[in-house]
Chains A and B, each alone.
Chain A
Amino acid sequence: MNHIRSILAAAALSLGLAAPAAAQDPLKVGFVYVGPIGDFGWSYQHDQGRLAVEEEFGDNVETVYQESVPEGADAERVLTQMALSGTDLIFTTSFGYMDPTLNVAKKFPNVKFEHATGYKRAPNVSTYSGRFYEGRTVLGHIAGHMTKTNKIGYIASFPIPEVVRGINAAYLAAKAVNPDVKFSVVWVSTWFDPAKEADAANALIDQGADVLMQHTDSPAAMTIAEDKGIYAFGQASDMERFGPNAQLTAIVDNWNPYYIERVHAVLEGTWESQDSWHGLAEGMTQMAPLSDAIPDDVKASTQEIIDKLASGEMHSFEGPINRQDGSAWLAEGERAEDGTLLGMDFYVEGIEGSLPK
């Protein structure tokens, strides 16, 4: 009995591994999402990328996906299953999949992995992310101009570098145009929980915030902002339909070109482990159209910032900038290096409160 089982397992394994070798078989591309594809935020945008891959390559690829996969041990099980079922290339689209991706990649050296927003790589694991913080600089600039109470509400998920970077970038840009601005950050410890995100939005509004930013995945906060007649920014996706009056603009993640490029590389046999971090310049980070609620002069200055960030004339983190405790971080004119940004675990000077550890 045990023999038969192991033979079957071996057969299944070799079938799975042999699949990419056969030229006529379509390339099987897998996607793992942290939320539902209908979240109209983060996971939705990734799934748009998957659809773009399908459209681009037609019968040459077959895509599979699994949504609402919890970060941690569960992810490892899902990834193993995907790898076992003959998937050749797997995109793992949340920070918390980092170690699970590495672990599973070690067991399946012939399967290629692409991990979003992480920093650990292996010969068969690439990483990729958007320079969302550039978008945050744009949001901060607008928020600084638009707030009347000088209190910006910020709904944050987890204190990982990506989120901290966003808060810092937005704050610096807001502060530059409005010295009195204050940021009120609420950590909700989840990427996707519309009810909790809505509660956080209400709590912030109750305490005087009149512009909301979020680093969570659902459009709940946008809906609340629309309801209460204040302003907010879309996150990961254009959320205008949830807040036609509330949305000032949105950071839009555009994964489509990257996904197509990487699938193409696998098909051509040129895929290599690499790290990609693209921003406004490459179009991985984009801005939704600016709302007409923004005065014309602010619109113009915002557009200028977008253009300068894209051209490299401006950087989101350019000295002089101190850390929250007052110690110097960047000297006059100095720009933050990617390495520091990727590991950012401190607030810049002026932000109140401390990071959860």
Chain B
Amino acid sequence: MDLSAINPLVLIASLMVAATPILLAAIGELVVEKSGVLNLGVEGMMITGAICGFAIAVESSSPWLGLLAAAGGGALLALVFGVLTQFFLSNQVATGLALTLFGLGLSALLGQGYAGIKPPPSPRLDVPFLADLPVLGRVLFQHDYMVYISILIVACVWAVLKYTRAGLILRAVGESHDAAHALGYKVVRIRLMAIAFGGACAGLGGAYLSLIRVPQWTEGMTAGAGWIALAIVVFASWRPWGVLLGAYLFGGVTVLQLNLQAAGLELPVEYLSMAPYLITILVLVIMSADRGRAALNAPAALGKIFHASS
């Protein structure tokens, strides 16, 4: 056993990378749920974003265009869900699950011919001077851009929800769509925008996998990350910084256990692999036991169908 082989700085740096896809997807889903819509299709939107981003990045040899396309693809797929649930008033849970199946199939179709291709390298943000700082440089200033962008998105979501009128309206729609409607807010339009934003973020998360973290296209490569993102939103009790914490915790445990194993530490692997899920379940149980708190945090109109005439 050689623990000294583990460099904690490298570990922190790699956990940030491992957490970024679920962080992006989760922060998008948080906004969707804050608007009172439950979209279980995160996995489908992620994988669609992964292939859209990959294909466009390869064709244009620009990772930026790829990421843009991933956001676009994710948003577009999310809008399918939006139209079905907001205009045709379909059941959100069933539609979301169908969206995941659809996204997995669609991405496999789009991905024909993209396997085994190398995507263009993504630029790293090597902040001058700061990147060379002895300790913080490696951890904080030597990542690819998306790591920073994902944190920035979390900060923006937090600020918008907390301090702006737009955020207030979004929350109002999520708490009581009837009241918001009575006040003259366009519930459906606001929700569609939130759904599209959620899709775009999930798409970015998927593209982060296919363009930066793995980087390659393989069918089904999200392998359940979308479901974890969904759990993290609840874990965070619908708070943006909680999502950041949850994603990093989850990514951290995953990366840590792999590193500990590589260092030759005798570990009960199964338990460590289970740990992130167990922690999530535990938090969910604790939260639901405290009914008052849970009710305080979950958007009251979450998953409820809105119809203007009712």
Report A's interface with B, CB cutoff 8 A: 35-40, 68, 153, 184-190, 192-196, 198-200, 202-204, 206-209, 218-220, 223-224, 226-227, 241-242, 352-354, 356
Residue pair B261, A39 in contact (C-beta under 8 Å): no
Output the nearest chain A residue to B259 by Cβ-Cβ distance.
A203
Given contacts A40-B218, A206-B7, A220-B214, is CB(A199)–CB(B18) below 8 Å?
yes
Contact A196 B254 (CB under 8 A): yes
Task: Return chain B residues, CB-CB under 8 Å to A224.
Answer: 214
Q: List 16 A-B contacts (CB under 8 A).
A: A36-B108, A38-B115, A153-B262, A186-B262, A189-B269, A189-B270, A192-B223, A193-B223, A198-B213, A200-B258, A206-B10, A209-B262, A219-B216, A223-B214, A354-B266, A356-B268
Most buried by B among A39, A40, A185, A356: A356
Contacts of A194 in B (CB 8 A): 209, 214, 216, 218, 221, 223
Contact B258 A186 (CB under 8 A): yes
**What chain B residues lie within 8 Å of A195 (beta carbons)?**
18, 21, 209, 213-214, 221-223, 225
- The answer to whether residues A203 and B14 also contact, given A187-B261, A195-B213, A356-B270 and a CB cut-off of 8 A, is yes
B133 within 8 A of A: no
* B5:A207 contact, CB within 8 angstroms: yes
B29 within 8 A of A: no
**What residues of chain B lie closer than 8 Å to A187, measured between beta carbons?**
261, 269
Chain A residue at minimal CB-CB distance from B114 = A38
Does the CB pair B223–A196 fall under 8 Å?
yes
Cβ-based interface call for B303 (8 A): no
Q: A38-B108, A190-B223, A194-B223 are in contact. Are A218 and B218 (CB under 8 A)?
A: yes
Q: A193-B224, A196-B258, A219-B216 are in contact. List 15 more A-B contacts (CB 8 A).
A: A38-B111, A39-B220, A188-B273, A189-B273, A193-B223, A194-B209, A194-B216, A194-B223, A195-B214, A199-B258, A203-B258, A206-B10, A218-B221, A241-B116, A353-B266
Residues of chain A with a CB closer than 8 A to B263's CB: 207
Known A204-B262, A207-B262: A199·B254 in contact at CB below 8 Å:
yes
Q: How far is the CA of A61 from the CA of B6 in the complex (A)?
A: 55
Q: Are B218 and A219 in contact (CB under 8 A)?
A: yes
- A248–B112 alpha-carbon span in the complex (Å): 26
The 8 closest A-B pairs by CB, nearest first: A38-B219, A241-B116, A36-B219, A193-B223, A203-B258, A189-B273, A36-B220, A194-B221
Would you call B123 an interface residue if the criterion is a C-beta within 8 Å of the partner chain's C-beta atoms? Answer: no
Nearest-CB residue, chain A, relative to B220: A36
Partner of A39, one of B219, B225, B264, B266: B219
Whether A186 touches B261, Cβ cut-off 8 Å, given contacts A38-B115, A68-B220, is yes
- Nearest Cβ distance between residue A34 and chain B, in whole angstroms? 11
